[in-house]
Chains A and B, each alone.
Chain A
Amino acid sequence: MSHATATAEHIPTEARDRPPAGIVGPWAWLRANLLGSWWSTAITLVLGYVIVRVVVSLVAWGVLHAVWSVPYGPTGIADTSACQNAKGYGACWAVLADKYRLILFGRYPYEEQWRPAIVVLLFIGLFIVSGMRRFWRKELVLIWIATLAAVGVLMWGGVFGLSLVTEDYWGGLPITLILATFGLAFSFPLAVLVALGRRSTRLPAVKMLCVLYVEIIRGVPLISVLFMASVMFPLFMPAGVNVDKLLRAQIAFILFAGAYLAEVVRGGLQALPRGQAEAADALGLSYWKKTGLIILPQALRLVIPPLVNTFIGFFKDTSLVLIIGLFDLLTMGKVALSDPPWQSFSTEVYIGLAVIYIAFCFAMSKYSRGLERDLNRSRTR
């Protein structure tokens, strides 16, 4: 490359497709990150050894030496001696094989358990359909109403030739999904209204109400809200009015989640540049049109990470209904373990439960990343 002079032509440098090999590529990454220095190499070897040991022993415990099923005695009681002998050495997945229906469906009558099974599939289907953006039209509301009606019909029965099953027999995964789905579906619009109300400049009474609601709910643990809903609420009702326990728990959830989500939404509303609202005002848009068309679409996009965070947290908080005597998925796990032959295999049961929770939570998490990528495509040049 020659020094430029006043009269020399500038010869452009050719653009090359990629940096030279040895700077990028897997082997280069390995060298840079894991084997960069003596210290780095030493730590890599030590941790590598530890990881391999742990993985090998987990595989040995969980797969190679595991007991997958046990024989049943003449009275139908399981003979778990094989599992007992393998304790500490091999996992006893037989407990899940034996107890899965109890854990998943609670005390629901055995022959009718196809109904809650369909309910679980309906919920999963509902989530998948709601997630796909091409279904984001007004008809989605109808789909939700229809699905929730179908869930009600299947769980209760009493119509279409289905036998009646009252809520005290409901349990397991359907309870978790009902509480979580209804809870988050109703608390989200409530949260948006509360967040908007809290930022209202024209209606001080509404603003104060919203502030009080959020601060009081956030000041008490969910357990105490559930407790109050289940124990104290009936005391305030006139005699003879009996609000069903599941409904009380559901309302408690909606109120609780609503307060937390309201603050998340408010964060998004605050983060939006003032100029957006001003431009909408200058065009003559009324408050609700401005909020619905300009403010909320942008504000909600900004807070997808904390929203999904809250959703995932509340999905798992449904397990607290144990306190008020409702049997969700986690509670049924504990009930299953109270059976004498299986009492010592809590690890395996909880691993099974964890897999179910992880499946739902991971799906939510993965979906949110996809949603963020899609919605924010318009932001990048």
Chain B
Amino acid sequence: MQNNELSGPPAITLDKVNKWFGSLHVLRDVSLTVAEKERVVVCGPSGSGKSTMIRCINRLETHQEGRIVVDGTELTDDLRALDTVRREVGMVFQSFNLFPHLTILENCTLAPIWVRKMPRAEAEAVAMGYLERVKIPEQAKKYPGQLSGGQQQRVAIARALCMKPKIMLFDEPTSALDPEMIKEVLDTMIGLADDGMTMVCVTHEMGFARQVAHRVVFMDLGEIVESGAPRELFENPRTDRLKLFLSQILRGH
């Protein structure tokens, strides 16, 4: 992956971020910079704080120390600034979190209509465009409960895209899917990457990381242990912790 096209002000900056859950220190002096159009994959064992870190980026979790600046706006207790940040940051969750009482189309048009104040017809046109892009336009009138897991996750991606965000966050998007559905979701994410989206993705799919990521960040016990180009990290791990992690997940692949 070339790094020469990445320049300009960073999209996301984490500066010595610390977070505690009660007395549990879950993020320890985490510092990370993500440039515009950069694609970063975050990996690590469970409990390493990778999900917590990514959830701090759109303030689903709040940090106690350090600074987080997203799209030029610092994340503080200011609610209005937070709303502007969240409009530009889309998130895809491990458990899809589609709204079960709304149709697929309504799921996708809800935020554009109520947050960006788009007229309904325009919002529906945009939504159908993204549903076609994730290859399920025929499901628009169905309810989430009627779709398979892979289809639901693709709808979740389309829903996030309908807000035309500048940054997309993925929190283990394929971890809850049957193996045969993982490919269709990863293909969608690769298509997104090809269009130049800034992405931060927490995942265990190392093949995806190799293909798409500019940088892979390995976290363990709340801190960033190693970070670098995917090929470098996977073939020449420097720390023992990363070597252990790779041996556990690669399992002879």
Cα distance A381–B100 in the bound complex, in angstroms: 11
User: Nearest Cβ in chain B — how far from A284, in angstroms?
Assistant: 4
B68 within 8 A of partner (CB): no
Least CB separation from B116: chain A residue: A284
Instruction: Kindly state the interface size class of chain B when it binds its partner.
Output: 20 to 34
Residues A272-315 near B (CB distance < 8 A): 273, 275-276, 278-279, 281-286, 289, 293-294, 297-298, 301
B60 touches A378 (CB 8 A): no
Contacts of B163 in A (CB 8 A): 283-284
A276 touches B111 (CB 8 A): no
Residues B74-96 near A (CB distance < 8 A): 83, 86-87, 89-91, 93, 95
A379 within 8 A of partner (CB): yes
Residues A139-177 near B (CB distance < 8 A): none
Least CB separation from A276: chain B residue: B97
B99 touches A282 (CB 8 A): no
B114 touches A380 (CB 8 A): no
Interface 1/0 per residue, A190-220 and B, CB below 8 Å: 0000000000000000000000000000000
B146 within 8 A of partner (CB): yes
B93 touches A278 (CB 8 A): yes
A278 touches B110 (CB 8 A): no
Contacts of A281 in B (CB 8 A): 58, 60, 86
Among candidates A283, A284, A298, residue contacting B101 with C-beta atoms closer than 8 Å: A298
Residues A349-381 near B (CB distance < 8 A): 375, 378-381
User: Nearest Cβ in chain B — how far from A380, in angstroms?
Assistant: 6
Among candidates A273, A279, A294, A379, residue contacting B145 with C-beta atoms closer than 8 Å: A379
Cα distance A53–B58 in the bound complex, in angstroms: 72
Cα distance A261–B37 in the bound complex, in angstroms: 50
B146 touches A381 (CB 8 A): yes
Q: Is the interface of A mostly helix, strand, loop or mixed?
A: helix
B86 touches A283 (CB 8 A): yes
Least CB separation from B115: chain A residue: A284
Contacts of B83 in A (CB 8 A): 284, 286
Instruction: Kindly state the interface size class of chain A when it binds its partner.
Output: 20 to 34
Cα distance A379–B146 in the bound complex, in angstroms: 8
Contacts of B86 in A (CB 8 A): 281-284
Given the interface pairs A298-B100, A301-B101, the reply to whether A279 lies near B114 with Cβ below 8 Å is: no
User: Nearest Cβ in chain B — how far from A271, in angstroms?
Assistant: 13
Among candidates A282, A286, A293, residue contacting B60 with C-beta atoms closer than 8 Å: A282
Given the interface pairs A275-B93, A284-B83, A285-B115, the reply to whether A380 lies near B145 with Cβ below 8 Å is: yes
Contacts of B58 in A (CB 8 A): 281-282
B110 touches A283 (CB 8 A): yes
Residues B92-122 near A (CB distance < 8 A): 93, 95, 97-101, 110-111, 114-115
Among candidates B99, B146, B160, residue contacting A276 with C-beta atoms closer than 8 Å: B99
B143 within 8 A of partner (CB): yes
Most buried by B among A278, A279, A283, A286: A283
A378 touches B101 (CB 8 A): yes
Contacts of A378 in B (CB 8 A): 100-101, 143, 145
Least CB separation from B146: chain A residue: A381
A282 touches B145 (CB 8 A): no
Given the interface pairs A282-B60, A282-B91, A284-B83, the reply to whether A289 lies near B101 with Cβ below 8 Å is: no
Cα distance A144–B163 in the bound complex, in angstroms: 38
A289 touches B143 (CB 8 A): no
25 examples of A-B residue contacts, CB within 8 angstroms: A278-B97, A279-B97, A279-B98, A281-B86, A282-B58, A282-B86, A282-B91, A282-B93, A282-B160, A283-B86, A283-B90, A283-B159, A283-B163, A284-B83, A284-B86, A285-B115, A286-B83, A294-B99, A297-B101, A301-B101, A375-B101, A378-B143, A379-B100, A380-B145, A381-B145
**Which 8 A-B residue pairings sit nearest by Cβ, starting from the closest?**
A279-B97, A283-B111, A284-B86, A282-B91, A275-B97, A284-B87, A378-B143, A284-B115
